[in-house]
Structure 1
Amino acid sequence: MSDALFPANPTAEPRVVSTSPSGTEICYALGIEPVAVSHACDFPEAVGSVPVIDRSRVTGESSAARHDSVATARREGGVYELDVELLEACTPDLILSQSVCGVCAVDEAFVRDTLDDSVATVLGLSASTLSDVFECVAQVGAATGTEARAIEVVGQCQRRLAEIAASAPDDRPRVAVIEWMEPLHVAANWVPEIVEAAGGTYGLADPGDRSVTVDWAEIREYNPDVLIVAPCSFEPAETRARLSELTSRPGWESLSAVQADRVHVMDGTVLNRWTPRLVSLTEELRRLLHPSSN
């Protein structure tokens, strides 16, 4: 479904700069190629040739090291450096930013503090539920004159999610989704809705909740039937290289999901973005939760 949602020949009008991967993906889904993007923007493939207007100060290999690096960067002036000269040279009509997490991408406050108001209109996007995700698509559509395409994209996503939910068996496994491995975070926001649509139960958070730090003892007590590991901004290969951060914890082998060989790595660069690709990820999760009914 992802390919169908992203037109092959996007236009560069209006001139949009996107400071977050979510905003970038929404632009491409609406048929617009941004004139500049953030360093974290990696989808679709065409974005690889678009100028990059920021640099992250976060370093470190392990989850804990990256977590500490974020704290250090914040104390020393911020997580990102913005190339203001390049951004202004792009002469944008619109700057898409985000107002949720200043760690994952340049946020709206940083953009407004850095730029003169006359440079361009700044639209800060935020989402904590699937309805919010679709509202982000509508907001970008309204700001770029692509309202009709936005309605089409949202409609496709909602119809496919309804089909996935309708096809899920009644037997619903208990699911946990890990968003960060050290310190340990469980996923929230739209993740409970995705799990529900895919045919699982999610007892760790309610739709719209913020992701929270948990103790490993809480995961052991919850004892998921299926454990999904999808750290924010990590592709599957990066997660697999760091799985020892989970598998070395006491009681790992006693988890039902481990004993049943139902621990799965998913793409954290999709799960933690508010984009139309969440639908494809829900389809993938449906196959993992109910392999015998695929």
Structure 2
Amino acid sequence: MRKPRIVSLLPATTEIVCALRLEKRLVGRSHECDYPGSITNRPICSRARLDDRKPPETIHAEVARSIEQALSIFSIDLETLQRCRPTHILTQDLCSVCAVPMDVVNQALNELNSRQVTVVSVHPGNLEQVMASIHAIGAALEVPFRAEDLVARMQARFNAVYARSHELKTIPKVACLEWTDPLIAAGHWTPELVAMAGGYPLLGTVGKNAPTITMDDLAQADPDVLIIMPCGFSIQRACEEAAKLAKNPAWTNLKAVRTGRVYAVDGNTYFNRPGPRLADSLEIMAEILHPEDFQFGFSKKAWQKL
């Protein structure tokens, strides 16, 4: 096999490539790929048509408008992509809002008349599919044994947390918010992380898209623990958006608020990325739900109690 030249258009696949010890073969990345820090000198091959500094309600409205008009919120820099001369492009077909979708990649390759490029599109809707994505990327890049080792190491960390949480007597009801205006409950792999960490997940469904909910829905569920993890936002931004939620009159009636069990997490770094750091995300979840039983050292830098 010729040495691969990899362009990754999804932060999670970039992290997978590096975890497979192929960082030197990464020749291009998306505008969102920022981990590990050593890859931030790679050329940026994509752009977003949205400004994530805007308020959540504005971002949501612009995304909805783009979907209604059948327009992608992402574009590919054809000139940069051509200069990268990739043999492999990694992307996803799970969410058109999260990263460059497959049809945009295919259109770019057609415009460049690039027929020799292998496109690997992953669909990590739950933890099993995240592991399958790692195997698929490892197979495409001809390092299947490295993929097996990475999956085994992640699974060992999952199992270690579950083995301890499974013995705990207290199982709090947990709601995770993936967006704050409108309220969107976390779906896909997040309910699995909650359950494995010793919680009972509310509102979201494993393997399903994140559902839009109302404050009444949240009040009716009345979680013991409420975790704010807006997609693509840092922990600082999550804290800011949580403060806005606190202005709603119904907020103070929530059990999680009354008992001081509302948390903000760095969703952009951890929970929103279906890659190797989901093992970190599970450990963070365990620390939040059962701080007396789990201490992994993520407090403050990855999550904060509000």
Q: Same fold (TM over 0.5)?
A: yes
Picking from 51, 55, 59, the partner of 1:62 is 55
Which residue matches 1:147?
A: 144
| CA deviation vs aligned residue, 1:169-219 (integer Å, no higher than 9, x gap) | 221100000000011100011111100111100132332121111111010
Which residue matches 2:43?
A: 51
Equivalent AA in structure 2 for residue 71 of structure 1: A
Quickly say closer, same or farther: Cα 1:167–1:76, change in 2 above 3 A: closer
* Conservation of the 8 A alpha-carbon contact between 1:170 and 1:199: no
| CA deviation vs aligned residue, 1:48-99 (integer Å, no higher than 9, x gap) | 1111011111025211011122234554953122111111121111000110
Equivalent AA in structure 2 for residue 31 of structure 1: R
Equivalent AA in structure 1 for residue 156 of structure 2: R
Query: Greater RCO between the two (CA within 8 Å, min separation 6)?
Result: 1
Q: TM-score, normalised by structure 1?
A: 0.92
Equivalent AA in structure 1 for residue 275 of structure 2: T
Total equivalences in the alignment: 283
Picking from 96, 102, 119, the partner of 2:96 is 102
Over the aligned positions, Cα root-mean-square deviation in angstroms equals 1.6
Structure 1: gaps of 5 or more residues: 1-11
* Conservation of the 8 A alpha-carbon contact between 1:95 and 1:123: yes
Which residue matches 2:277?
A: 277
Which residue matches 2:183?
A: 184
* Conservation of the 8 A alpha-carbon contact between 1:180 and 1:231: yes
Trace 1:252-291 onto structure 2 (pairs within 5 A): 252-269=251-268, 270-291=270-291
Which residue matches 1:22?
A: 12
Equivalent AA in structure 2 for residue 14 of structure 1: P
* Alignment partners' CA distance in 2, 1:246 and 1:146: 46
Which residue matches 1:115?
A: 109
Which residue matches 2:81?
A: 87
Q: Once the 2 structures are TM-superposed, how far is the Cα of residue 244 of structure 1 from its aligned partner?
A: 3.0
Equivalent AA in structure 2 for residue 19 of structure 1: L
* Conservation of the 8 A alpha-carbon contact between 2:161 and 2:283: yes
Which residue matches 1:226?
A: 225
* Alignment partners' CA distance in 2, 1:43 and 1:136: 18
* Alignment partners' CA distance in 1, 2:43 and 2:179: 29
Equivalent AA in structure 2 for residue 42 of structure 1: D
| CA deviation vs aligned residue, 1:139-162 (integer Å, no higher than 9, x gap) | 000000111110000001111101
Picking from 158, 162, 166, the partner of 1:161 is 158
Q: TM-score, normalised by structure 2?
A: 0.88
* Conservation of the 8 A alpha-carbon contact between 1:56 and 1:81: yes
